[in-house]
Structure 1
Amino acid sequence: MSDLAPTIPSVTTTTESSYTARHLSVLEGLEAVRKRPGMYIGSTDSRGLMHCLWEIIDNSVDEALAGHGELIEIVLHPDSSVEVIDHARGIPVDTVEKLGLSGVEVVFTKLHAGGKFGGSSYGSSGGLHGVGASVVNALSSRLDVEVDRGGKTYRMTFRRGEPGMFDDAGGSPGPDSPFAPFTDHSELAVVGKVRRGVTGTRIRYWADRQIFPLSATFSYDELITRARQTAFLVPGLEIVVRDERRLPGTPGADGPVQESFKYDGGTKDFVEFLAPADPSVTDVWLLRGEGTFTETVQQLDGKGHLVATEVERTCEVDIALRWGSGYETEVRTFVNIIATPKGGTHLAGFEQALLKVLRKQIEANARRLKLTGKNGKEKVEKDDVMAGLTAVVMVRFPEPQFEGQTKEVLGTAPVRQVVSKVVETELGGLLESSARATKAQAASLLEKVVDEMRARVSARTQKEISRRKSALESSSLPQKLADCRTDDVGSSELFIVEGDSALGTAKDARDSEFQALLPIRGKILNVQKASLADMLGNAECAAIIQVIGAGSGRSFDLEAARYGRIVLMTDADVDGAHIRTLLLTLFFRYMRPLIEAGRVYAAVPPLHRVEVVGSGGKPGETIYTYSEKELTQQLARLARSGKRYKEPIQRYKGLGEMDADQLAETTMDPEHRTLRRVRMSDAAAAETVFELLMGNEVAPRKDFIIAGADDLDPTRIDA
C-alpha cells in the first residue's frame, strides 16, 4: 500500500459501550455475509479465498473493458495480504446524496450498490451483482482502499466491513493494529496529491481468519492461470502478478517472482495457447457477430423506486475455434470475460448450432462422404462434432443473469438463440467458402466428424453384441434365435420364419441391425383346442413367448415386448396360410395386446418371378407378382409392349427357393417390401371366427366348409 498514510491520533480499540446505532446501519447487510459466507463465495476454503480475490480483480478488469486503464498489478504480500492496483478512473469519491456517504464507503459497505445497475457506467461487466467488493470487505479482518482522483489521493480503511481508522504508527500495517471505528460520521481522508489526470485504485486486504481457516491460502498457479486467461480475453490489457511470500514449493520460494501477461490477438491467441500439439484439421476460425433481445428489468426511477422496465440488450458474440486430429475437447466459456466453468445458455446455443450446421453440411455431402444406403441411417451426434475441438466462447452484454453469486452458470435465456444464430451464419459461411485453403479444411473437418461417428457406431455395436450375447447365455431364450443388435424397441422387428431352409436365406437377406429371426418347425400347436398347460409345454409356442419377452395371457405386458413389430413370414401356399393362421391364433389367445396395438404383421412374399429379356445386350427388368391374376395382367402388358420374357416363369414353392437378394428386395427390405398389418376392429367377431375355424367343435366347421364349397375355385388349391 502507499506510504502516504496520514498521521493518526492516539486511538483505542472499540468497546461495547461505543458500539452505536450507526454501526448497526452500516453492518446490517454485511453481518448476513459473515454469517452465511458460503452463499456469496461458495465455500470458506482456498477456493472461497480465491473467489474473493477474483471479485476485486474483476472490478479492475471491468474498468479496462470500458476503456479505462491498461495495467493491473496483483501483489501477494508476505503478511498474507493481497493488493490489487489499477490505473483506471478510480472509485467515485463524491457523496451519494440519498445515503450521505462517499462513493468509496457505499461500494465497500452496501450490498447491491455500484455502477453496474443503471447501465450507464458499464456496457458489459462481470461484477454485476454489486456485492463483490462489499462481500470481500465483510470477510476481511482489514481492508485498505486508496483512490487517486482529481489530483488527490483518498484513503479509507475497514475492519470486518466497519469503517474506521487503524493506528499503524508502531510498524507495518496489519489487521492487529489498534482500530477506532467512526462514531458520528465517516471520513474519506485526503492523504496526498497526484498529478492531474492520474487516476486509479489500490485495494489491499487481509482475509479474516475467523472465517477462513489457516489452511486456506492464495494459489499462485491459479492466479497465474486466471491472469493469463484475462489477458487473452481483453486484448491490450497488461496484468502483472508478483509473489513476495517466499512460500516453499512455489516459484517464489527463493525470492520475489513476477510474471506479466499481455496479448493483442484476443480469443484467437487463447485458442492457439489451449490447443494440443496434435496436427490441426483447421486453422483457428473466428466467429463474431451480435444480436439483440429484450428483457424486463427492475430499474430505479427519479424517485428512487424500482420500476419494471423493458430494455433492449445487444449481445456481442466472440468465438474462436479450431479442430485438431485428436479426440480431446477443450471448450472455455465466458460472459464479460468472467469464466463460466459450468456453461449455461451461451454454451447450449454454441453446441446446438455447431451440431446443426455440421449435420446440414454432412447431409449435403453424403455421397462424397460415402453415407448412402445403410450408412446414411446414422446421425452425427454432439460427441462426434466436439471431438478434437478447442474453442473459446465469449459473450458480452449488460446485466447478465447468473445462477448464484459465484457466476459459474449463465442463465439469461435469449442469449442461447443469439449465439446459435451467429454460429450458424459464420460457421456455415466458412464451410461453404470457395477459398481454396478454407474449402480444403472444411472437407477435412467433415471427414473427421464422419470418422468419429463411424468409430462411435462401431464401438456401440461391439458393446451391444457383447451385451446381447451375455443376455442370451444367462437366459432361457432359444439358441436358434438370430437376434438383432439394436436395443431400440420401436425400430426392431422379429420375423417368425417357417422352416430352417428359409432361415438360412433370411439370415443373409435381413438387416441384422434391427431385424431378428426365429424359425419354427412346421405347424405349431392349435392353441384354440389345447389347454394352457399344453400350450406352455409346446416347444415352439414357449419359444415365441420367451423371445417376445412380455409374458402371456392376463400377465402380458405390452411395454415389456422386446420388438416393435412381429412379422409372420410363411410360404405363399396353403400350408403357409395354415401356419400363419395357427400363429395368429396363438397371438389372439395369449398375446392379444400386440394385435390390438397393430404390431403384428404378415409378410407378403411373391408367387412368381418374371425375367424380361433386354434389348441390345442390356439386362432386362425383373417383375414379381403376388397372384395368378396379377401374373396374367403383367404378361398381357409385356405382350402389348412387344417385350419378351424368359420361359418357364419361375413359380416359388417356398421362401427357401429365393436367393437372399430376392428375399430382401421383395419381403424384408423396408424400402421395397409389402407388409399386411393384422387388425382386430371387432374382437367379438374375431373370436367367433377363430372358434369356428380352430375350435373343438367339428360340426360347425364342417357346415361352414360345405356352405362355401360352391364358391371355391379348384384352381386355387395348391395340389
Structure 2
Amino acid sequence: MTSTEQAYSAAHLQVLEGLEAVRKRPGMYIGSTDSRGLMHCLWEIIDNSVDEALGGFGSEITIRLESDGSVEVADRGRGVPIDIEPRTGMTGVQVVFTKLHAGGKFDGSNYGAAGGLHGVGASVVNALSSRLDVEVDRGGKTYAMSFKRGVPGVFADGKNAPGPDAEFTPDEGQAELRIIGKTARGVTGTRVRYWADPQVFIKDAEFSLDKLQERARQTAFLVPGLEIVLEDQRDPTEPERVAFRYDGGISEFVDFLASDGPVTETWRIQGGGDYSETIPVLDDRTGHMVSREVARHMDVDIALRWGIGYDTETRSFVNIIATPKGGTHVAGFEQALVKVVRDEITKNARRLKVGNDKLEKDDVLAGLTAVITVRIPEPQFEGQTKEVLGTPQARQIVAQALTTGLKERFTSTKRQDKTETSMVLEKVVNEMKSRISARAHKETQRRKNALENSSLPAKLVDCRSNEVDRTELFIVEGDSALGTAKPARNSEFQALFPIRGKILNVQKASLADMLKNAECANIIQVLGAGSGRTFDLEQARYGKVIIMSDADVDGAHIRTLLLTLFFRYMRPMIDAGRVFAAVPPLHRVVVLHPGKKPNETIYTYSEAELQTLLKKLDRSGRKYQDPIQRYKGLGEMDEDQLWDTTMNPEHRLLRRMTMADAAEAEAVFELLMGNEVAPRKEFIVEGASQVVPELIDM
C-alpha cells in the first residue's frame, strides 16, 4: 500500500450541511455566477409570487431594483406560512428559506401546477445572498425574518438604511419570527428583499432591465389579469416605472410576437390528457419514501398563426416557466403539426400541383408564430434551470391535442376557416418548391461569368475575376446609370446589374409574389446563394453588394426597397457586413486657377459641406466656377467623374449596412414597410418637424 493510499481515510471526507453545498457549487443550482445566474435567482423569487397569482391569490406583483444593489419582490398572495412546521419545529418562513427541497408544491394540494416546482428556489437565493429580508402579512400582522448568507439572525440597522454590512447577530436555536407591524384585516402578501453576495457572483454581474421587462411582459401574457410592475431605482435621478397587464392570454402573446403580415388569424387550440407515473412519495406512517403510481392530468393550450414571412418564432412554457431549449412538449407539437399538414397536402395534391416532392419540417414552420403552454403537476425538467422539459408523456398528449384541433380547423365548413387553411397549404407548398429549387440551384451553380452561364440574366454585366472576396456587384438604378457606370468600372472585379425603377416591397408581399417578381428573382439569381432559409453565404458570387442609387427621394426609396429584400430573404449578407450603399457626391465645385495652371475639381457630399467649402474659398480669395453643378442623378456624371467619386476603391465613400439587433430591425422594417398604415402614418407625423425642406431632394 502506497503512502498516498495510507494517508486517505474517512477523515478526509467532507460533509456539507444545510446551504453550504449551494455556496460551494452554485453553478449546479443556478447555472452560472455571471449576470445569467444573477437573473436566474431573481426569476426564482418572482416565480413563487406568480404561482400565488396562478392559484387565484393576488393580482399584482411589484419588482423594484434598488440603488444599493438590492432587489425587492412584493406580492399580494397568501403569504409564506408563519406557523410551526411539525417535523422540523421551525416556522414556515425559516423552512422555506433555509431548507433545500422544502416547499408547498410537492403534493399538489396547494398548487395544481406551479412554476417553482423543485422547492429549492427561495433557499438557494438565500444561500447566495449576503443579506435577505422577508416580510409576511398574515392575520392582521406583519412578520419579518432576516438572513446573512443563509443564516437567520438580526441586523442592527438602527436609523441607517438596511444593508448587508450592518452588524449581524445570528439566532441561536430556532430562529425568531419577529412581529414588526399591523395590517388591515384580509391583507396578505410577501415581500422579499435581498442583496446578491459579491463573494459568489462575478464583479460584472448585473440585473438587466431589458430582460426583466421581457420576462415580465411574457408572464403577464401567460397569466391573464395579472399586473406586473417594474421599478428601476438604481439611478435615483432617472427612476423608471413600467407596468404590464394583458387579458387576452397567449392569443394576444402570438399577435405581439408576430412581426410579419398575416396569412391566418391566430388559432387557439386547447386540450389535455390523463396519464400515470410512478414517483417516490413520503409515507406518513413509516416516514420513508415509497414508490407509488399516481394519476396525472395535463392541460394543453396552444396559439399559432402563419405569416407571409419565413422566420419561425416558437415559444414554449411549462407552468408559465419558459423552456427555451424545448423538450417533449415541443417535440409533440412539431410532430403533430408536420403530420397534419402533410396529410392535408396529400389530400389536395392535384390542386396544389405537388407532384412527388417531399415536405420537410422547415417548410411547415416557415412564417409560423406559436406559443405552446402546458400545465402539469411535478414536471420532469433537465436540471434546476428548467430549460428543457423531460416528461415523456407530454409528447403524446400535446400531439393528440394539436392533431384534434388542426383537423377540426382543416375540415371546418366556415368560409374564413376554408380560406385560411387553403392559404396555409399554398404557403407551405411554395416554401417546399422554393427550397427544392434553391437546393437544385445551389448544387448546379458554379462560378461562371455571363458568357459561360446562360442562366444568368442577360442584363448582368459581369466581371472577369473568380476571386469572390475581391469582387463587387453594383446594383444601379436604370439604364442611364448603367450606360455611365459600364465604361467607368474596373471590369476586372466590378460587376453591374441594372434594375428598372422601384422593385416590389417584399415586406408586404408573399413569398410567391416575390418569386414571381422579375427584378427580385433576378437579384437573387445573380447573387447565386439562394434565398430565405436556404440562403448559403458561401455560395454568394460576389464579396460585396453595393447599392448605387441617385441622391434624391426616389433613389432613397429604391435603396430602402432593396435593403428590405436583403433583410427579408438574404439576411446573412447584412449580418456578414457585405451590403453597402454608395455615396455619390451632390456638388461639383471647379476652383479656378490663374494662368496656365489647371483648374481644381472638388466634390462635396452634403449641403453643409458645400457651404463650408465656399466660405473657405471666399476667405482665401479663390474664385470658383458659377453656377455650381448639382448632381441629381448618376447619369449626369461622365465616366471619369463617376469612377473617381463613387466607384474607385481608393477615393469612394461607402456606407456599410449593419444590424445590431435583429428584433429591433424587424420592428423598424415592419413599421416603415409593412401592411399596417396607421403606425407608419403616426411615425411620419411625429417626425415631420425634423424634416428640412431644403434638403428633401438629397
Give the TM-score, by structure 2 length: 0.61
Structure 1's unaligned 5+ residue stretches are 1-23, 247-252, 470-719
- Equivalence for 2:370: 391
Q: Which residue identity does 1:348 align to in structure 2?
A: A
1:302 correspondence with 2:302: no
Q: Secondary structure at the match of 2:19?
A: helix
Q: Deviation of residue 254 (structure 1)?
A: 4.5
**Partners of 1:452 and 1:468 in 2: CA distance:** 26
For 1:148 and 1:305, the matched residues in 2 are separated by: 34
Q: What's the CA shift string for 1:200-255, capped at 9, x where partnerless?
A: 00000000000012211110001000000000000000000000011xxxxxx842
Supply the AA of the counterpart residue of 2:281. Answer: Q
Residue from 444, 448, 466 that aligns with 2:427: 448
Counterpart-to-counterpart distance in 2, 1:210 and 1:379 = 57
Q: Distance in 2 between matches of 1:467 and 1:158?
A: 69
Greater Rg over alpha carbons, structure: 1
SS of match in other structure, 1:142: strand
Residue 262 (structure 2) pairs with residue 280 (structure 1): yes
Among residues 338, 349, 352, which one is paired with 2:321 in the alignment? 338
* Corresponding position of 2:46: 57
The code of the aligned residue for 1:336 comes to N
SS across alignment from 1:52: helix
Quote the offset at 1:28 in angstroms.
Answer: 1.5
- Inter-partner Cα distance in structure 2 for 1:236 and 1:185: 39
Q: Which residue of 1 aligns with 2:388?
A: 409
Counterparts of 1:91 and 1:391 in 2: how far apart (Å)? Answer: 35
Q: State the AA in 1 paired with 2:395.
A: R
The equivalences for 1:143-158 within 5 A come to: 143-158=132-147
Q: Which amino acid in 2 is paired with 1:422?
A: A
2:112 matched to 1:123?
A: yes
Match of 1:243 in 2: 232
**Correspondence for 1:428:** 407
Q: CA deviation at 1:377?
A: 1.6
Instruction: Determine the structure 1 residue equivalent to 2:150.
Output: 161
Counterpart in 1 of 2:330? 347
* Cα distance per residue 1:631-655 (max 9 Å; x no partner): xxxxxxxxxxxxxxxxxxxxxxxxx
Query: Following the alignment from structure 2 to structure 1, what is the Cα–Cα distance between the partners of residues 174 and 78?
Result: 26
Q: CA deviation at 1:460?
A: 1.4
* CA distance, structure 2, for counterparts of residue 254 and residue 163 of structure 1: 35
User: Once the 2 structures are TM-superposed, how far is the Cα of residue 467 of structure 1 from its aligned partner?
Assistant: 8.1
- Unaligned ranges ≥5, structure 2: 1-13, 449-698
In 2, the alpha carbon distance for the partners of 1:172 and 1:436 equals 65
1:171 to partner: Cα distance? 0.3
Partner of 1:191: 180
Of the candidates 248, 271, 277, which is equivalent to residue 265 of structure 1? 248
Q: How many angstroms does 1:170 deviate by?
A: 4.1
Runs of 4+ in 1 over 6 A off after TM superposition: none
Q: Secondary structure at the match of 2:349?
A: coil
CA displacement 1:56-92 (0-9 Å, x = unmatched): 0000001111111100000000000000000000000
Distance between the aligned counterparts of 2:406 and 2:225, measured in 1?
27
| Displacement after TM superposition at 1:464 (Å) | 2.4
Which of 127, 133, 140 is the matching residue for 2:129?
A: 140
The residue number in structure 1 matching 2:89 is 100
Alignment of 1:599-678 (within 5 A): none
Query: Which residue of structure 1 aligns with residue 656 of structure 2?
Result: none
Distance 1:66 1:60 in 2: 10
| Cross-structure match for 1:38 | 27
1:91 aligns with 80
- The CA deviation at 1:149 is 0.8
Paired position in structure 2 for 1:640: none
Amino acid at match of 1:455: S
Pairwise CA RMSD: 1.7
1:320 equivalent among 303, 311, 316: 303
**C-alpha displacement at 1:33, in angstroms?**
0.4
Partner residue, 2:397: 418
- In structure 2, what is the Cα distance between the partners aligned to 1:152 and 1:28? 33
Length, aligned pairs only? 435
Aligned to 1:311: 294
For each residue in 1:424-444, what CA deviation from the matched residue of structure 2 results, as whole angstroms up to 9, or x when unmatched? 000111111110011101000
The equivalent of 1:580 in structure 2 is none
How much has 1:463 moved relative to structure 2?
A: 2.3
Q: Which secondary structure state, in structure 2, belongs to the residue aligned with residue 28 of structure 1?
A: coil
Q: 1:75 aligns with which of 47, 64, 86?
A: 64
Q: What percent of counterpart residues are identical?
A: 65
Correspondences of 1:427-576 after superposition (within 5 Å): 427-466=406-445
2: distance between equivalents of 1:280 and 1:244?
40
**What is the alpha-carbon distance in structure 2 between the residues aligned to residue 467 and residue 133 of structure 1?**
60
Other-structure match for 2:459? none
Which residue pairs with 1:228 in the alignment? 217
Specify the alignment match of 2:537 in structure 1. Answer: none
